[in-house]
Amino acid sequence: GIAPAAPRPAASSSTVPTPPAAPVRAEAPVRPATTSSIPGDPAALQSLLVKVTLKPGEPVPAEWPFADRFSGHLSIDMLLNPDDRREQLAAIMTAPTNERFSQVIANRVWRRYLGRGLVEPVDDWETYKPSHPELLTYLEREFVASGYDLKALARLILSSHIYQRQTNVAAGIDERQAQLLAGPPPRRMTAEQVVDSLFTVSGKPVNIEPMNIDVDGMRSYESSINLGSVRRAWQLTSMSNERDRPSLSLPGAQTVVDVLETFGWRATRPDPLTIRPQETTVLQPAILANGVVAKRVTQFSDDSRFTELALEDLSLDGFIEELCQTLLTRPPTADERTWFRSILA
């Protein structure tokens, strides 16, 4: 069952009202730059999806536009500088009484582990409503009570009955089955998980060039940007440079990025996608079978786990057992044992 939600914390007696009711500091209206104006005649403006409500050069008064979402008060103790409107905005957005902020995070974490958000799509809260509002409220309040601890929220979801149930294949196909929360739908590994698994299974380090943005060494030390050595796939970034020749600048990193992009990774971080492409393509098995990364991790080298297994004093069945434990984290089936014997004997 769903545990009762914790009560909301009461507002402090020493509070700072949220704008526009009683702004902390008077702000002069902001006059948008002329370059921010949308040209066009009235008929053309009517056809736009975005409603144009300001005339070019019209000043915009400072106010809080989300009073319907959050109209509580902030404790003055939450602000290091109560006169700083930027700090006040950050405190308002993350205040315990602002349910939307914590609900969005809880919903996204739920989708990450269960394959489907309680509000789906996760980035459209105006059109779609929660399929299980009580559950979302419970997760959101537990998240706030933990001090916005993402690990605590993940632990709560991962220890739930629904996450630990058997995978519900129908939930990955039928939308109605997914809403029943009968079990997590099957999910494909992320691009980062695919790459990290390849190197982890083989026992080899990633061992590519440092992610140095100044690949030609022309900048001064003070202006160069070095993101350090890569140990996990999430540490990689875009390979593009001013000459658009990434394969020449960081060839080792590019081979790993090729695998990541094949499985839906986006190199352009300023333009992230909430939902990555999940389609299976012919390039995915091809790059795993013939790519440079696949060749690296399967080669018998001094730093390979497979080399260590081959040098150990093991019987054929013992070698097959250790190999399956390394690759699959389980013993081999009878058919797998027979197949391995046929190619290793």
**What single-letter DSSP state applies at residue 2?**
P
Closest CA to 289 of 212, 198, 219: 198
Assess contact for 42 and 87: CB atoms under 8 A.
no
User: Residues 141, 8: one domain?
Assistant: yes
84 and 162 together in one domain: yes
* Residue at 293 is within a domain: no
Q: Using alpha carbons, select from 37, 21, 20 the residue that is nearest to residue 29.
A: 20
**Domain limit, last residue, from 279, 298, 333:** 279
Same structural domain, 14 and 108? yes
Q: How far is CA 15 from CA 12, 86, 141, 187, in A?
A: 6, 17, 22, 46
Phi first, then psi: what are they for 46, rounded to 5°?
-65, -25
58 lies in some domain = no
**SS3 category, 11:** coil
Q: Which residue has the tokens 């989708």?
A: 111
Q: Is residue 136 part of a domain?
A: yes
Two tokens, residue 37? 């104006």
Please tell me whether residues 153 and 12 are part of one structural domain.
yes
DSSP string, 262-279: HTT--S-TTS--SS----
In a domain, 52, yes or no: no
SS3 of residue 42 by DSSP: helix
Q: Both 141 and 206 in a single domain?
A: no
Q: What is the pLDDT of residue 34?
A: 65
Q: At what angle do helices 316-328 and 334-344 cross, to 10 degrees?
A: 120
- Per-residue pLDDT, 155: 96
Output the pLDDT for position 51: 72
Question: In angstroms, rounded to a whole number, what is the distance separating the alpha carbons of residues 113 and 98?
Answer: 24
Give dist(CA 257, CA 293) in Å, integer.
Answer: 10
In the block, residue with structure tokens 């081959």: 310
Say whether both 330 and 243 belong to one domain: no
Is residue 174 within 8 Å of 180, Cβ to Cβ? no
303 is a domain residue:
no
- The residue from 158, 187, 216 where one domain ends is 187
| Residue-number span of the structural domain to which 140 is assigned | 1-20+70-187
Q: Are residues 130 and 104 in the same domain?
A: yes
Q: How far apart (Å, rounded) are the C-alpha atoms in residues 110 and 119?
A: 10
pLDDT at residue 25, as a whole number: 47
The Cα–Cα gap between 90 and 113 comes to: 28
Mark whether 247 and 336 lie in a shared domain.
Answer: no
Q: Are residues 151 and 249 in the same domain?
A: no
pLDDT in tens, 282-338: 999 999 999 999 999 988 888 898 898 889 899 999 999 998 998 888 999 999 999
What is the Cα–Cα distance from 319 to 322, expressed in whole angstroms?
A: 5
The residues, ordered by sequence, that sit 6+ positions from 90 with a Cβ below 8 Å of its Cβ are: none
Number of domains in the chain: 3
Residues 131 and 215 in one domain: no
Provide the pLDDT for residue 256: 92
Given 187, 211, 240, which residue is the final one in a domain? 187
Q: Is 141 in the same domain as 7?
A: yes
Q: In a structure prediction context, what are the per-residue pLDDT tens digits for the chain, which is 345 residues long?
A: 444 444 444 444 344 444 433 344 446 677 766 666 666 667 766 777 677 777 777 777 777 777 766 655 666 677 788 778 788 788 877 777 788 889 999 999 998 888 888 998 888 888 889 989 999 999 999 999 998 999 999 999 999 988 888 887 776 667 776 777 777 788 888 899 999 999 999 989 888 888 776 655 566 666 667 778 889 998 888 776 555 555 556 788 889 999 999 998 887 655 566 778 778 899 999 999 999 999 999 888 888 988 988 898 999 999 999 989 988 889 999 999 999 999 887
On whether both 101 and 229 belong to a single domain, the answer is: no
Is 152 within a domain?
yes
| Residue 49, domain member (yes or no) | no
**Which of 205, 211, 289 lies closest to 250 in space, CA to CA?**
211
User: How many whole angstroms from its chain centre is CA 191?
Assistant: 12
| Residue 51 falls inside a structural domain | no
Q: Which of 157, 173, 203 is nearest to 301 (CA)?
A: 203
Name the helix (H) or strand (E) containing 75.
strand 73-75
- Which whole-number Å values give the CA distances from 58 to 33, 61, 177, in the listed order? 10, 10, 51
